[in-house]
Structure 1
Amino acid sequence: MGTGPAQTPRSTRAGPEPSPAPPGPGDTGDSDLTQEGSGPAGIRGGGEKVIRAGMGHSPGRGAPQRRHRAQPGGAGKYERRPEGPTSMGSLAQREDLQDDEDKNSAFTWEVQANNRAYNGQFKEKVFLCWQKKKYKTNVIRTAKYNFFSFLPLNLYEQLHRVSNLYFLLIIILQSIPDISTLPWFSLGAPMVCLLFIRATRDLVDDIGRHKSDRTINNRPCQILMGKSFKRKKWQNLCVGDVVCLHKDNIVPADMLLLASTEPSSLCYVETVDIDGETNLKFRQALMVTHKELTSVKKMASFQGTVTCEAPNSRLHHFVGCLEWNDKKYSLDIGNLLLRGCRIRNTDTCYGMVIYAGFDTKIMKNCGKIHLKRTKLDLLMNKLVVVIFISVVLICLVLAFSFGFSVKEFKGQHYYLSGLHASSVAAEAFFIFWGFLILLSVTIPMSMFILSEFIYLGNSVFINWDVQMYYQPQDVPAKARSTSLNDHLGQVEYIFSDKTGTLTQNILTFNKCCINGRIYGPAAPRRPQEDPYLWNKFADGKLLFHNAALLNLVRSNRDAAVREFWRLLAICHTVMVRESRHQLLYQAASPDEGALVTAARNFGYVFLSRTQDTITIVELGEERVYQVLAIMDFNSMRKRMSVLVRKPEGTICLYTKGADTVIFQRLHRRGATEFATEAALAAFAQETLRTLCLAYREVAEDIYEDWRQRHQEASLLLQNRAQALQQLLGATAIEDRLQDSVPETIKCLKKSNIKIWVLTGDKQETAVNVGFASADVGVGLAGQEGMQAVQNSDFVLGQFCFLQRLLLVHGRWSYVRICKFLRYFFYKTMASMMVQVWFACYNGFTAQPLYEGWFLALFNLLYSTLPVLYIGLFEQDVSAEQSLEQPELYLAGQKDELFNYWVFVQAIAHGVATSLVNFFMTLWISRDTAGPASFSDHQSFAVVVALSGLLSITMEVILIIKYWTVLCVVTIVLSLGFYAIMTTITQSLWLFRVSPKTFPFLYADRSVLSSPSILLVVLLSVSINTFPVLALRVIFPALKKLLAKEEKVEEGPSEEIFAVEPLPHLYRESRARRSSYAFSHREGYADLITQGTILRRGPGVSSDIASESIDPSDEEAFSSPKESH
């Protein structure tokens, strides 16, 4: 499917010539025959159209493919035209040479061959008087950092995150002694960890980019230096250099093709890494360079100047001219080799660098990557703002409360006014900032740190899943984006390509209809039977066999059958080469390959082609047809036509295309036509790709009139062709579904996922689909190349793996991250809201309750491992149960596991836990004294901290559903870290080192050694746990038991299952849409509508038709032959 903008066609001329008449008003490029041009061999259409694959003999270019035994027109009556066949798509849109010269005056890009000094003199203004070289080198740098810029640039990028800016602001406030309420390490240490982890990740990614850049820049190439080609690196290329490329080489820069070893200087390229299309494309040098530049010496003396448009991102558009020896020759995209394409089926070619480095078209298309954000990520940004506003309001309330408290205190104790030198307002202002620092941990930095590990870990699990490994192509599942895992658990719509995504994109000839009679595949034959032994050119891979049709072909008595297979052998753009005495076809599309291979097995073998002839073997007889014109396929014509002169001298027009356009041009509608139309309906209902075949002999006077009268004659011939064309039959090609596609679609439908297949027959289709960027992109590595993979977030080998990716990994990731966030907010509020309650009892002085080290290590060590386990390993159900019960996926689509209401519940639960921990401890500690008392600040803080830690540990025990040894280890380690670190930070030797930093001397020992205090801790934990346990476990279990008893009392009842009526579309109806195969290589869309209802949705371009696949309709997938 073409993805570029509309192209401006150009004609390639060998020197000045009279300009043709401008196109007539009625010429739209839709006619089968248009005016023949007067240019030389090598005339082609506007970039996307290749009119022929010339392989004829040419001086200095090697011999033709095969010696021809017969020539068209046995008596020599017809003279072969030296300029070769005509391109209808080109001539219908040719522009005047004077128009080219007018446009050339606006060209700003001028490059001279073999002259670096001349090209280096061009400068461009950058800023004020500062200028730099206009033409870039061929060095590519995609890395973001270098040795000196990494630290400052990475810090600058990280501080663009709102959360990091918030934390930095708090740390700056914390460094002010007048308002600081926490030790520096309580916030500084987590901030350093966060920046370090993210910087390390960015560094690893950038090191990979550096390695990739070095690999690309150091690729070898041959550059013409002086009188010979020398081996250099890609990075040494400059504009104007002449480069030698060989078969399978990658083109290092955008180059003008000068010559090649192929006849007529054709060059075949594969653009799979540019546009994802695996079919070969043709490029051709100007005839003047093809004839003149026949040796290295002549290339070294070549001083042509190319004037063209400035570098741009239009992959399918190029306009310029070559000035050489005081003559100008127009250039188009058909003369340009783009960087990144690979040379195929061409031994050697030579090119002149036009654009290098970042000026090349593929690099111009490498725009900025837009960061995709998940629904949870966007919700989190809003919740962080909500939390911050709430904290500010709480700090304001506490600051006002402090002001009233101080004012009341001064009124009662006026004799202590000397202690309050500043005003109440000033003290309240400073207290506000002190509370803001104290409560800043309600937006925990550790949550952002752990989320990085969780997203990375879930991506690794996707990469390691052997059940999503596609062994035939060695393609494992790969998460190319590590921040979209949870989004896979919330997918509601899937927009899918069909060819190569749902299907295997391996096309085989399945059925045909000739003269209204259908010929289908026979029963599978035994291995020792080979019906094609009589044909030495037969391809043993063809599975189609019909004895009746084979006997009819071999008898050679039916003219329609003969013309049917002859058309398939002639009307195409397939290239052929010999390897080990075997014919190897290089088809522009899988459809054409299947059709030509079928004709080959039935005795009509495409043998070779030259610039203006095509040679086929018809039942053992070699015949040469002169190619007069080729009418290229495009989305408007929906057909391809070839005008040839037979060896007998008659002219014949062969056409294949969609039934909608072929039937419109039939001269009559008889029984054969109606039978063929019924066959097409049957083929389409079996989801086969169909083509109609027709032909007509063209009278000599019509052909000569067409040649001479240009556009007017082309319209005349079109009208005559419409009245005279005769139908030969139709073909049906099968493109099987991939394994388990019906089951996958059915399962995805049960999970409430809607699947749409995007189809279209215009090149704008791909552009429109590209603009409609999806939330998550999944690319399948298959027959269509790696373009989809390179632009995707996740890579799979088969469509059926999408089921496991969404329903298992996607849902697990969503469940994990939701439970992680909910628990993290709960535990943060449960531990930090205690600071607010404590402020009500210390005069609102912003005095922290906890030890500074407890605040610093709480979210890093004491409560980290269990919540990290939840984010990485939690499973509510197994993978098998997820696939067996796809209805579980609905929770993610409805945002049930984490939303505003769940957030409020988590906050309320945390606040309730903090109230119990604080006031239960406060209530019991009142009016107590002695060794077992904990009424002092430090003992009180340790009891509240221990109660809070054990309460949130019990909560994590209750919410974990997937228990493993690792889960137990994480819980034990968390409590162990608390015991060890508390013992260390409250030890005597650290107190002696820094009493201010380690003020809690033996506070833990005095608390833990008292059984009564431990009973207080146990009481607080029990009060926090039992209500939650009752709500989550006991009540649901009792409710389920009561419901079961009621059901037993009522007795058995018959279950009534609702049967969903399935829509059915009869393809024989008048509403039938043709399901035809696009058989030509350019201008066709790969997305074919077959056997489903077409609907156009709002917001979708009119060039795109969306198919809603109803997986429940299994009739379309009931047998292998129906799998399409």
Structure 2
Amino acid sequence: MAREPSIALKAIMPFSETRTKLRYSDTEDETPLIEEAERAEESSSGGRRRRPALTNASTSTVRTRPRNTAKARTINFHTSDKIKDKYPPNVIRNQKYNLITFFPLVLYEQFHVFINLYFLVVALSQFVPQLKIGYIITYFGPLCFVLVVTIGKEAYDDWKRYKRDKENNSQKYQILTKNGYKYIPSSKIRVGDMIVIHKDCRVPADVVLLRTTETSGACFIRTDQLDGETDWKLRIAVPFCQKLPSDESLLQIDADVYADSPSKDIHNFIGNFSKNIPGQVVPQVEPLNVENTLWMNTVLASGTAVGFVIYTGQETRAVMNTSHPETKIGLLDHEINKLSKILFIVTLLLSFVLIALNGFRGLWYIYLLRFLILFSSIIPIGLRVNLDMGKTVYGHQIMNDKEIPETIVRTSTIPEELGRIEYLLSDKTGTLTKNDMELKKLHMGTMSYATDTMDEITAQLEIAFGKRQDDVHARTMPRGWVAGKRRDITSRIRDIVLALALCHNVTPVEEDGEVTYQASSPDEVAIVKWTESVGLTLVFRDISEIHLRTRTGDILEFSILQLFPFTSETKRMGIVVKDNLTEEIVFYEKGADVVMSKIVQYNDWLDEECGNMAREGLRTLVVARKRLSEESYAEFEERFHEATISVSDRKAQEQSVVGSILEQDLELLGLTGVEDKLQDGVKSTLELLRNAGLRIWMLTGDKIETATCIAVSSKLVSRNQYIHTVQKLKSPEAAMDEMDVIQSNTDCCLVIDGESLQLFLEHFKNDFIELAVRLPVVVACRCSPTQKADITRLIKTYTKKRVLCIGDGGNDVSMIQAADVGVGIVGKEGKQASLAADFSITQFGHLTRLLLWHGRNSYKRSAKLAQFVIHRGLIISVIQAVFSSIFYFAPIALYQGLLMVGYSTVYTMAPVFSLVLDKDVSEDIAMMYPELYKELTKASRLEEYLLIM
């Protein structure tokens, strides 16, 4: 079924074809392990057991069972059912309750609310003869109505979760057994099973990819339900298993899979595949990483695959990353809770005054309790139901607003918070900009090309690749070639364009006769599209080879020997390729200037040109290469393989080898400048929000020059506004000096890099935030996701104001979740931010209408509704107080029975509906005069009402 893997396949997954002896330190904590009795049991049942794959020859075969199973494990291909049962069942359960816990937990949650608890006590008091005032239904009716509505909603939501879980758990999957294939439900899948996954099917558990129907051993998966990213990702089968003639052959080999302990990290995995050879103590060991795995809830996008289950149920990445963030409670709800307690005190004082005016005669304490019951209508039990009804209406209006299509309300409890925002924290790429990349500039030291001169590059490439034999001669350099030697223009252009066409993770995918590029980064797609436009097209890519087509139709074939994907930690990616015609081996690397400038050969133009491009608003990438001899690459491959089979600190060891051999004295080829255009309406949106009184911060991972340029072009920075830049601070003293400068000019725009920001947060956190929140605009550059979240929390804590965060990528999720209101934009980076947010929109310009119209209306309506309901209760209580005063302070009810129930429901419902749909100004007025929004943030309407009351 599968052909012998090429050298490229062995290189990307550097598997060993020889016996490899592991260090003893690499064998620790490999659990759960099998005791002697279980080994004997497996032997008697036909399964051949031998020394665990990662056990050093000097260690004993008797191992102590671990204290828990959530640790690293070594799983044999013939693991017994008894061992499999020791791992968690593969059952998905997202329900909050079960039949036994539903009522206790729901009631506990409801009576945590002060109003509900108060009315429960009032209702129960009617069973005491001395305290009984009217019909018991008068008091239990409203409380039961509130509880039935709330409990019904909880039951319905939990029932929907149950239905989704049942659908997933009962989905049938094919597993491979010694008796052939059989179908079992997803909930019956266990660790050690071999499952068959078909195209467009959900992966039911975390598995190691053993085989695919593709002869190359590759397949694509979609991960949008796991991490929100919409691009397809490449996965690679275990080469040894891929070489087997059929899927059934997997049952005939004696092999182990070592998997590290369950983790939430979906981007990393450390494991080993061990083939046990009869007569040999030490097995063949082949390393496994995340490219060999399929995590639960991903979807197979191509072919059919066989996977070996390593984690199930609660130990899968998907379940471990399924967090249930704390329910966000709006400021209005906090104010109502506070007001309810104040009204209780008012009720108590009023009752005490009436008792005191009566001279504390008779059973005054009984009378005091009766007065408390009579005046209980001051505290509105129906307020929360009315507000929840209003919030449902507000959410429906937002999602059905044709002016902001595809807007989704994910948190229905805080729509009125949109009307009280005072700080807006925004990401840049994909939020203020389109994330629609286009390569605009190419600089190579003495030569620079822009959009209007790209034709020259095309012409030079036609010369360079015009004749295949000439091309071969040009690309075959003598081994004594000096990197710094001056080359002609044609060679230099050919080298950098070839580097850009090879150094990436882009894969061309043909669907319905059209070729599209799949990649995790829009930057890479933009660069590959540019190389196509100038005459070098990516036509084929798999795990082992890359094929490029020139304008003349010639195909350039390259073998992939190593691939080092981009990570946010390294900020660069690299690839080692071998020209199949010339057999020349070259290491290409591209990355951010801050890291590449330290590993390329000395030059006198890189820093200056990076700054120039950044000031033009372009995203820069530095491109470099290093030619490798057969000997030097063989040395690297040997050392790198030793690092890849380590189960201890594997990433660091791999990076150390790459840094010490490949990333030394790289030849600088050039610098690219990619433009990310502003979204439509960004300028007007920022201006309107600024006029509405919002203080706007931009938090980005981009460099200072690019962020400053975007801030100016988007009109985030006002015309003629002074921009104060703080960067590369090294000492607290320097930070203090900068704070003194900012203190003297609080009308400036502060632009600060991540390094300096961290210094401020570590040494002068409170002083810095106190100063920064007074500035009209702050732009923080080179920010990590953690720093973004920290800044959000600091502003919330220090100012006590409402903070809105908006972003579009996975690196914005922590910031969005830390904010009072999180808004996610569905962008090219995927849906991760959108799924984590309280509100999801499709473009930044929709934020204006969301805040100035819907936010303002939601808050004003909720505030007026709360005032009305409270006022309604005060009126009847005042009448009751007057009545009791006239009749010698007797605690006798003026209104009894259904009259009281109807007063707070049927008779006064018309104003409630009116207030929920009320508009004090038209849409045009609200959008034309954003200053109307500013009025809402000056003082709480409920606080004003309380003062009047």
Residue in 2 that maps onto 1:497: 427
Q: Is structure 2 residue 99 aligned with structure 1 residue 163? A: no
Residue in 2 that maps onto 1:625: 558
Point out where structure 1 has 5 or more consecutive residues left out of the alignment. 1-59, 65-79, 123-133, 407-423, 470-475, 523-544, 908-1124
Q: Is structure 2 residue 874 aligned with structure 1 residue 874? A: no
- The one of 353, 362, 366 aligned to 1:397: 353
Distance 2:657 2:332 in 1: 64
- 1:723 positional shift: 8.0
Residue in 1 that maps onto 2:929: 885
- The one of 82, 89, 94 aligned to 1:118: 82
Residue in 2 that maps onto 1:351: 307
Q: Once the two structures are superposed, what CA deviation does each residue of 1:1011-1038 show, in whole Å capped at 9, x if it has no partner?
A: xxxxxxxxxxxxxxxxxxxxxxxxxxxx
Residue in 2 that maps onto 1:299: 250
Residue in 1 that maps onto 2:339: 383
- 1:365 positional shift: 2.2
- Contact kept? 2:522, 2:828, Cα under 8 Å: no
- Contact kept? 1:258, 1:289, Cα under 8 Å: yes
- The one of 492, 496, 508 aligned to 1:560: 492
Distance 1:280 1:713 in 2: 25
Per the alignment, do residues 795 and 701 of structure 1 end up closer, same or farther by CA in structure 2, a change over 3 Å counting? closer
- 1:387 positional shift: 1.3
Residue identity matched to 2:27: E
Distance 1:437 1:186 in 2: 12
Residue identity matched to 1:370: E
- The one of 527, 535, 542 aligned to 1:603: 535
Q: How does 1:715-754 map to 2 (within 5 A)?
A: 725-754=666-695
Per the alignment, do residues 95 and 735 of structure 1 end up closer, same or farther by CA in structure 2, a change over 3 Å counting? farther
Distance 2:601 2:259 in 1: 47
- Contact kept? 1:494, 1:756, Cα under 8 Å: yes
- The one of 459, 467, 470 aligned to 1:551: 459
- 1:810 positional shift: 0.6
- Contact kept? 2:853, 2:927, Cα under 8 Å: yes
- 1:492 positional shift: 1.5
Q: How does 1:122-133 map to 2 (within 5 A)?
A: 122=86
Residue in 2 that maps onto 1:541: none
Distance 2:672 2:264 in 1: 39
CA RMSD in angstroms comes to: 3.6
Residue identity matched to 1:657: G
Per the alignment, do residues 635 and 444 of structure 1 end up closer, same or farther by CA in structure 2, a change over 3 Å counting? closer
- 1:306 positional shift: 4.4
**SS at 1:623's partner residue?**
strand
Residue in 2 that maps onto 1:687: 617
**SS at 2:112's partner residue?**
coil
- Contact kept? 1:114, 1:302, Cα under 8 Å: no
- The one of 378, 382, 401 aligned to 1:465: 401
Per the alignment, do residues 598 and 788 of structure 1 end up closer, same or farther by CA in structure 2, a change over 3 Å counting? same
Residue in 2 that maps onto 1:85: 11
- Contact kept? 2:196, 2:306, Cα under 8 Å: yes
- 1:580 positional shift: 6.9
Residue in 2 that maps onto 1:28: none
Residue in 2 that maps onto 1:903: 946
Distance 2:638 2:826 in 1: 50
- The one of 345, 349, 373 aligned to 1:437: 373
Q: How does 1:177-576 map to 2 (within 5 A)?
A: 177-263=129-215, 265-292=217-244, 294-301=245-252, 304-306=255-257, 308-309=259-260, 311-321=262-272, 325=276, 327=283, 329=285, 331-344=288-301, 346-404=302-360, 406=361, 424=362, 427-469=363-405, 476-522=406-452, 546-556=454-464, 558-576=490-508
**SS at 1:445's partner residue?**
coil
- Contact kept? 2:591, 2:622, Cα under 8 Å: yes
Q: Is structure 2 residue 862 aligned with structure 1 residue 817? A: yes
Q: How does 1:1006-1021 map to 2 (within 5 A)?
A: none
- 1:246 positional shift: 2.6
Per the alignment, do residues 724 and 395 of structure 1 end up closer, same or farther by CA in structure 2, a change over 3 Å counting? closer
Per the alignment, do residues 227 and 494 of structure 1 end up closer, same or farther by CA in structure 2, a change over 3 Å counting? farther
- 1:628 positional shift: 4.5
- Contact kept? 2:9, 2:560, Cα under 8 Å: no
Per the alignment, do residues 521 and 189 of structure 1 end up closer, same or farther by CA in structure 2, a change over 3 Å counting? same
Residue in 1 that maps onto 2:697: 756
**More off after superposition, 151-160 vs 549-558:** 151-160
- Contact kept? 2:378, 2:873, Cα under 8 Å: yes
Per the alignment, do residues 649 and 205 of structure 1 end up closer, same or farther by CA in structure 2, a change over 3 Å counting? closer
- Contact kept? 1:495, 1:758, Cα under 8 Å: yes
Distance 2:437 2:119 in 1: 59
Residue identity matched to 2:854: H
**More off after superposition, 370-379 vs 817-826:** 817-826
Per the alignment, do residues 662 and 146 of structure 1 end up closer, same or farther by CA in structure 2, a change over 3 Å counting? closer
Residue in 1 that maps onto 2:523: 591
Distance 2:8 2:899 in 1: 91
- 1:857 positional shift: 1.8
- 1:159 positional shift: 2.8
**SS at 2:202's partner residue?**
coil
- Contact kept? 1:119, 1:240, Cα under 8 Å: no
Residue in 1 that maps onto 2:603: 669
Residue in 2 that maps onto 1:1101: none
- Contact kept? 2:548, 2:557, Cα under 8 Å: yes
- Contact kept? 1:516, 1:679, Cα under 8 Å: no
- 1:568 positional shift: 1.1
- Contact kept? 1:518, 1:679, Cα under 8 Å: no
Per the alignment, do residues 884 and 349 of structure 1 end up closer, same or farther by CA in structure 2, a change over 3 Å counting? same
Residue in 1 that maps onto 2:28: 102
- Contact kept? 2:84, 2:190, Cα under 8 Å: no
- 1:563 positional shift: 0.8
- 1:800 positional shift: 1.3
Distance 1:99 1:229 in 2: 39
Distance 1:707 1:511 in 2: 35
- 1:619 positional shift: 4.3
- Contact kept? 2:506, 2:518, Cα under 8 Å: yes
Per the alignment, do residues 395 and 234 of structure 1 end up closer, same or farther by CA in structure 2, a change over 3 Å counting? same
**SS at 1:368's partner residue?**
coil
Residue identity matched to 2:887: N
- Contact kept? 2:505, 2:565, Cα under 8 Å: no
Report which structure shows greater RCO (CA 8 Å, sep ≥6): 1
Residue in 1 that maps onto 2:751: none
**SS at 1:505's partner residue?**
strand
Q: Once the two structures are superposed, what CA deviation does each residue of 1:483-512 show, in whole Å capped at 9, x if it has no partner?
A: 101101011222233333333333233332
Instruction: Report the structure number with the largest CA radius of gyration.
Output: 1
- Contact kept? 1:306, 1:320, Cα under 8 Å: yes
**SS at 2:209's partner residue?**
strand
Per the alignment, do residues 504 and 403 of structure 1 end up closer, same or farther by CA in structure 2, a change over 3 Å counting? same
**SS at 2:131's partner residue?**
coil
Q: Once the two structures are superposed, what CA deviation does each residue of 1:218-238 show, in whole Å capped at 9, x if it has no partner?
A: 434322255443444423423
TM-score by length of 2: 0.73
Residue identity matched to 2:421: V
- 1:396 positional shift: 2.6
Residue in 2 that maps onto 1:954: none
Q: Once the two structures are superposed, what CA deviation does each residue of 1:123-171 show, in whole Å capped at 9, x if it has no partner?
A: xxxxxxxxxxx521x3323234566765565444433322211111000
Per the alignment, do residues 121 and 693 of structure 1 end up closer, same or farther by CA in structure 2, a change over 3 Å counting? closer
Residue identity matched to 2:572: R
- Contact kept? 1:690, 1:732, Cα under 8 Å: yes
Per the alignment, do residues 84 and 199 of structure 1 end up closer, same or farther by CA in structure 2, a change over 3 Å counting? closer
- 1:478 positional shift: 2.1
Residue identity matched to 1:102: E
